[in-house]
Amino acid sequence: MFTTPDVTKSCNSDAFCSWLYQQTESRWLANSGYLIIVKPIRILAIILIALLIRWALHRAISRLTASTSRAAMPALLKPLREKVTETAEEGQFIPERRRQRAEAIGSVLRSFVSAVVFTMAALLVMGEFGFNLGPLLASAGIVGVALGFGAQSLVKDLIAGLFMLLEDQYGVGDTVDLGEATGVVESVGLRITTVRDGRGVLWYIRNGEIVRVGNKSQGWAMVVVDIPIGFVNSEEAIAVLKRAADTVAQHPEHQTEFIEAPDVVGVETLTVDGATIRTIAKTTADSQLTVQRELRRALAESLETSGLSERIAASRLAPRSAVPPSWYPGAGGTPPADDPRPGGSAV
């Protein structure tokens, strides 16, 4: 793999070495000058050019990722499939996510560029030292094929991680449902994603094993609150709940958390225990739980202060006789004259 370079042959093809030989007429001095001056200069030039190329590529990547903070986003850094439709209200929450994703992609691209440039520079330097690169490249190709077959899961994880970043499926701080693990994303890599669940357990998940992602922090969230009202007047209950929901939305502490005004959509279900009124609100993803708790509290208090809660309780506690009437056939009585059942006088 390592061969002693033919200095005399190399010297004849080098302008500086040929000039030095013509001036001194000393083959030894010319060869020595080639080894002491020309070779180090070539190696130094290779290193400097590699550093310059790396700097230029890093600068281009940094400028590309930095432009994501502006309204016009480069097409390269847009998700391959848009997950969220940006309305006027929602657009203000997207740039930060774009910036984080662009920084992650930029870091990966910079690492890849550095590895490629320095690998090529190292091969050129080894060539200057007399290494025969043919067998080395052939051996690297064989090792690459062997690793490709033996590390298919690793390649799968890396490719899945790259597409996950490009498509902006989730990021650090998002609350996600990955099937086995549900929690807050703590770190995102090309191979591994770490998620901490509600009990504090830290899950390490290979990107190639993630087949579905439920992101609860992307874009906006919907708050749904169902309030049972028994058998009281539904229109009256809707009016009371509507005033309470509007009060919460207009409160200075929660005003910025609402994307759209809350809406009492009406009767959602009707059972033997009465009706259920549904209230919905479109909020920012980070404020979903806070708004949900505040709406529940405000809606419950509104029913209490309006007096509807007592009427709801009374409608639910209406007495029902558990003892059959005396005329029930099984009790041995006689049915009334207007009994519509078979056997009754009205039939």
So where are the chain's domains?
7-150, 163-215, 220-316
The predicted pLDDT at position 290 comes to 87
Sorted by sequence, the CB contacts under 8 Å of residue 56 that are 6+ apart come out as: none
The predicted pLDDT at position 86 comes to 45
- Cα atoms in the 13 Å half-sphere on the side-chain side of 84: 24
The predicted pLDDT at position 81 comes to 46
Q: How far apart are CA 201 and CA 272, in angstroms?
A: 42
Looking up tokens 């949900």 gives 292
The predicted pLDDT at position 8 comes to 52
The predicted pLDDT at position 31 comes to 59
Looking up tokens 């391959």 gives 80
Residue 196 corresponds to which tokens in the numbers above?
A: 């901490």
Instruction: Choose the CATH number for 163-215 among 2.30.30.60, 3.30.2320.50, 3.30.750.24, 3.40.50.620.
Output: 2.30.30.60
Looking up tokens 């004849």 gives 12
The predicted pLDDT at position 105 comes to 75
The domain 7-150: what is its CATH number? 1.10.287
Mean pLDDT in order along the chain per 10 residues (347 residues): 47 56 56 64 86 91 69 49 45 56 75 86 80 73 71 79 80 84 85 88 90 83 89 89 90 86 89 89 85 91 86 67 48 52 46
DSSP 131-181: B-HHHHHHHHHHHHHHHHHHTHHHHHHHHHHHHHHHHT---TT-EEE-SS-
Q: Which residues of 262-275 are buried (b: 16+ CB within 10 A; e: fewer)?
A: bebeeeeeeeeebb
Q: How far apart are CA 175 and CA 196, in angstroms?
A: 9
Rg (CA), the chain: 38
Q: Which CATH architecture has domain 220-316?
A: 2-Layer Sandwich (3.30)
The predicted pLDDT at position 22 comes to 57
The predicted pLDDT at position 219 comes to 75
